[in-house]
A and B are shown apart, each in its own frame.
Chain A
Amino acid sequence: MSESTNGSQSRRAFLSGAALTAVTVAAAACNGLKDPFSTQAEDQQVAPTGEKVKLLSVNGEVIEVDKAFLKPVPHMPSVSNSEARIGIPGKKFVMVIDLARCKNLKHCQASCNHMHHIQDGQNWIKVQKMKESAYTAPYWQPTTCMHCDEPPCVKVCPVDATFKRQDGIVLIDSDRCIGCRFCMAACPYSTRVFNWNEPVLPEEIAETPYSPETSVPQKKGTVGKCDFCPDMTRQGELPHCVSACPNGVFFFGDLNEDSVTNGAETFRFSDLVRDKAGYRLMEDLGTKPNVYYLPPVNRNFPIEAGEENDKG
């Protein structure tokens, strides 16, 4: 977000950054070191550096504060565990994957792995070369978690560590998972991965407070999978795979609004799936996935274009 050069986006970055620091300024006014909520203001020795920073105050005025009064705010999970279990109100997330546009570039996979710090050898998004039968043409099929409406994984979880939210997302609470791996056996899409070892993570990531919405940091002995990036959608952003794909394969959106977008094009979801004969994987199992596929017709790339990226 902060890297974006888009005018309105950088303004938003500025605003949210300001909101965080505003709190610190208020806390710094009290004795922030001992009890930030104490009303007993004590003298605090802070030598002004003379360097001023412009901030937006809570009532919308731009104020100037000396840099010495700014204090980094410790990372906190953006939402509480109970909020993360309920989901984003009024939403019903859906994804459409256009197989005609996929050339196995795997940018989706790379960005997903990078943002979620997935361990070596594991992928939440897999891109498979599929071929229905001897005479039909092969095609590249990216698979994410299907976020089923009848999730077999959630049914079998003994401790409610994996759960279905009101906004349709199936998430995992790695702080509760006991690592029995029943969900992995139950998932017909083989979408789940397990942290067999202590995850290898950069120190600052390992120290981030865990939230089921970010799925970061991964935890040893627990299950992980594609989470539809609820931390991004909460900010009104697209999941990483959607924005990473240069070919616009992934469309993400809200069933209640009946619209999906890949960042460049936006479609009415119902029209798109009807006009292009969208379908879901393994419909006969009754899992009712929330990921739809558009058949690989009139393809943008020949199948060979993706061969070199296919590592098997």
Chain B
Amino acid sequence: MEKALKIPDEQIIADLLPRKFGKTGQLWVGLLMCICLLGVYAYYRQLRYGLGVTAMRDYVSWGLYISNFVFFVAISLVGSLITAILRLANVKWSTPLTRIAEMIAIAAIMFAALIIIIDMGRPERLLNVFVHGRIQSPIIWDVVVITTYFFISFLLLYLPLLPDIKILLSSPSAATRPFQKLYRVMGSFWKGTYAQTLISDKAINILCITIIPVAFGIHTVTSWLFATTFRPGWDSTNFGAYFISGAFLAGSGAVVVAMFVVRKAYQMDDYITDDHFDKMGKIVVLLALVYLYFNISEYLLPAFKMKEDEEAHLKELFVGDWAVKFWTTILVSMILPMLLLLFKSGRKPLPMFIAGIMIVTGAWFKRYIIVVPSMLHPFLPMHDVPLSYKSYFPSWEEWAIACGSLAGGMLVITLLVRIFPIVPIHETMVEKKAN
């Protein structure tokens, strides 16, 4: 931070302008597009032959798609944590992270909506949700709250971007040239006058306050898709808080990963500093502890009572077929990263990156373990069905679509990073001046 103080404005602009991709960048985009295309092909097959191409059947009627959906919703929650909560708490150091967080949030919420449509048996009837929607169904709550969250997140990305667009428009750099037209459409009206700034600041403040309940809403309602049923493992009053705490952890992990990659790719050591990693590391430890707490109450309490229906489910997780997956996930998504980040040297960029990867992949598997085993333990025994109905392992089409959606989310983030400054230029300059 000390060194960063002395950077002149022109240097900041030059440093933070979006840049053309190098070889690695192009390779990365190409790879993501290939995975996406494979997913599109798999979805074409699913549309043509029906959901029968998946491994889902009557007992496990929700599978990889739904767990992937929950993962996306979880990841998207971080936008509100970094932008809104830290901003309202007047935390200054989070400024360079806000845009990454909002980009991740937007990309994730888009793909959450998309994957839920992919999971539908009759996607062409999507409009029925609006024509015949019944307010008592948690799906309708989810549609309402996810749409709201998308628009608030979009505005929270867009409004702080306006001063930067002004800078981009005036920049002669070749890197921004292909997008000048887009910049003009988005923000040529922005002159940066006192009146405009006043309105913008006010709007951002209002959005920051509204996004917090809406963010809690998206994940609470998503957890209620499960908790409103009777099934063992889902029938919990704890589920909303459990999901939210997990989402904050997963999202923060994603931000840490993105921070590391962007810093490395764009040599932004002066802007995304070791200090940022250190502080994010402390936040991640706190969030991991909170999530661990909810996990303990989520599994320990039913395990203490061992009601008949819960017993089959819990034993399967603790010592049965799912035990390795279950314990590995707990270890990788919470305990190991937390232990690593407790040490000061663990909060350096590289170990943080590793911890972030562990948290994000762990979070993905965690959702799978929340969704699938509960479906495998219905109240009445699985019966009068072919053997293949009694177990579940996703088909290649499901994997391709899930990976395609993950790749798609990363592609959206990558393209946003290419087009817009990943670290807010204007805010950085203002802050340096204030210091």
- Chain B residues whose C-beta falls within 8 Å of the C-beta of A128 in the assembled complex: 380-381, 383-384
Interface residues of A in 140-160 (CB under 8 A from B): 143, 152, 155-160
In the assembled complex, how far is the CB of residue A117 from the closest CB belonging to chain B, in whole angstroms? 16
CA separation between A281 and B50, bound complex, in Å?
A: 33
Minimum CB–CB distance from B117 to chain A (whole Å) comes to 10
Q: Is A194 an interface residue (CB 8 A)?
A: yes
Chain A residues within 8 Å of B133, by CB: 158-159
- Of the candidates B56, B139, B385, the one whose C-beta lies within 8 Å of that of A122 is B385
Say yes or no for A192: interface residue by CB 8 A criterion: yes
In the complex, A243 has a CB within 8 A of chain B: no
Interface contact A156-B121, CB-CB below 8 Å: no
CB of B52 within 8 A of CB of A197, answer yes
Number of chain B residues whose Cβ lies closer than 8 Å to a Cβ of chain A: 47
Given contacts A179-B121, A181-B61, whether A156 and B137 have CB atoms under 8 Å apart is yes
Question: Given A122-B58, A126-B384, A188-B230, do A221 and B50 touch, yes or no (CB 8 Å)?
Answer: yes
* A178 and B231 alpha carbons, distance in the complex (Å): 22
Is B184 an interface residue, CB under 8 A from the partner? no
Given the interface pairs A123-B384, A128-B381, A189-B379, the reply to whether A285 lies near B230 with Cβ below 8 Å is yes
Q: In the assembly, what is the distance between CA of A184 and CA of B119, in Å?
A: 14
Q: A221 contacts B58, CB within 8 Å? A: no
Pick the residue among B119, B121, B140, B375 that contacts A220 (CB under 8 A).
Answer: B121
CB of B129 within 8 A of CB of A159, answer yes
Q: Which residues of A contact B50 (CB under 8 A)?
A: 195-198, 220-221
CB distance from B391 to the nearest CB of A (A): 13
Known contacts A158-B134, A182-B139; A109/B121 CB under 8 A: no
CB-based contact B120/A180 at 8 Å? yes
Specify the main secondary structure of chain A where it touches its partner: loop
> Is B125 on the interface with A (CB-CB < 8 A)?
yes
Evaluate contact between A177 and B121: CB separation under 8 angstroms. yes
- Once bound together, how far apart are the Cα atoms of A190 and B134, in whole Å? 23
A127 within 8 A of B: yes
User: B26: which A residues are within 8 A, CB to CB?
Assistant: none
Question: How many angstroms between the C-alpha atoms of A295 and B379 in the bound complex?
Answer: 19
Which A residues lie within 8 Å of B59 (CB)?
Answer: 190
Docked complex Cα distance between A188 and B231 (Å): 7
Is A311 on the interface with B (CB-CB < 8 A)? yes
For the complex, what is the distance from the CA of A47 to the CA of B138, rounded to whole Å? 63
Cβ B384 vs Cβ A190 within 8 A: no
CB-CB under 8 A from A126, the residues of chain B are 380, 383-384
Q: Are B132 and A188 in contact (CB under 8 A)?
A: no
Chain B residues, Cβ within 8 Å of A196? 50-52, 54, 56-57
How far is it, in angstroms, between the C-alpha of A221 and the C-alpha of B123 when the chains are bound?
9
- Give the Cβ gap from B357 to chain A, nearest Cβ, in Å: 31
In the assembled complex, B185 has its CB within 8 A of some CB on chain A: no
Docked CA distance A179–B49 (Å): 15
In the complex, A301→B128 CA distance in Å?
50
Question: For window 33-67 of chain B, which residues contact chain A by CB distance below 8 Å?
Answer: 49-52, 54, 56-59, 61-62
B177: Cβ under 8 A from any A Cβ: no
One digit per residue, 1 when the CB lies within 8 angstroms of any chain B CB and 0 when it does not, for chain A 184-225 equals: 111011101111111000000000000000000000111100
Cβ A194 vs Cβ B51 within 8 A:
yes
Cα separation A152 to B132 with both chains bound (whole Å):
18
Q: In the complex, what's the smallest C-beta–C-beta distance from A236 to chain B, in angstroms?
A: 30
Residues of A with C-beta under 8 A to B126: 178
Residue A7 lies at the interface, judged by CB distance under 8 Å to chain B: no
Contact of A184 among B58, B131, B134 (CB under 8 A): B58
**Considering the chains assembled together, what is the distance between the CA atoms of A282 and B378 in angstroms?**
12
A contact residues around B279 at 8 Å (CB): none
**Is residue A54 within 8 Å, beta carbon to beta carbon, of the partner chain?**
no
- Smallest CB separation, B72 vs chain A (Å): 17
In this complex, the member of A159, A160, A281 whose beta carbon has the largest number of chain B beta carbons within 10 angstroms is A159
Interface positions, chain B 376-392, Cβ under 8 Å from A, are: 378-386, 389
- Asked whether any CB of chain A lies closer than 8 Å to the CB of B173, the reply is no
Give the chain A neighbours of B375 by CB distance below 8 A. 185
Contact B129 A158 (CB under 8 A): yes
Taking CB atoms, residues of chain A closer than 8 Å to B230 are: 152, 186, 188, 285
Q: Is B433 an interface residue (CB 8 A)?
A: no
Whether, in the assembled complex, B85 has its beta carbon less than 8 Å from a beta carbon of chain A, the answer is no
Q: Does B193 contact A (CB under 8 A)?
A: no
CA distance A193 to B126 in the complex (A): 21
A60 within 8 A of B: no
For residue A11, which residues in chain B have a CB less than 8 angstroms away from its CB? Answer: none
Contacts A158-B133, A197-B52; A282 near B379 (Cβ below 8 A): yes
Q: Most chain-A Cβ atoms within 10 A of its Cβ — which of B59, B122, B226? A: B122
Of A123, A185, A222, A282, which one neighbours B61 at CB under 8 angstroms? A185
Are the CB atoms of B140 and A158 closer together than 8 Å? yes
A221 and B136 form a contact (CB under 8 A) = no
In whole angstroms, how far apart are the Cα atoms of A201 and B18 in the complex? 58
Say if the beta carbon of A74 comes within 8 Å of chain B. Answer: no
Contact call B121/A192, Cβ cutoff below 8 A: no
Which B residues between 182 and 236 are near A, CB-CB below 8 angstroms? 225-226, 228-231
- Taking Cβ atoms with an 8 Å cutoff, the residues of A that contact B are 109, 121-123, 126-129, 143, 152, 155-161, 176-182, 184-186, 188-190, 192-198, 220-223, 281-282, 285, 311-312
**Given A123-B384, A160-B132, 20 extra CB contacts under 8 A:** A121-B389, A156-B138, A158-B133, A158-B139, A159-B134, A159-B137, A160-B134, A180-B121, A185-B226, A185-B231, A188-B229, A188-B378, A189-B380, A190-B379, A194-B58, A196-B54, A197-B49, A198-B50, A221-B50, A282-B379
Could you give 13 example pairs across A and B, Cβ below 8 Å? A122-B58, A158-B140, A158-B143, A159-B129, A159-B134, A185-B375, A188-B229, A189-B379, A189-B380, A190-B382, A196-B52, A220-B121, A312-B383
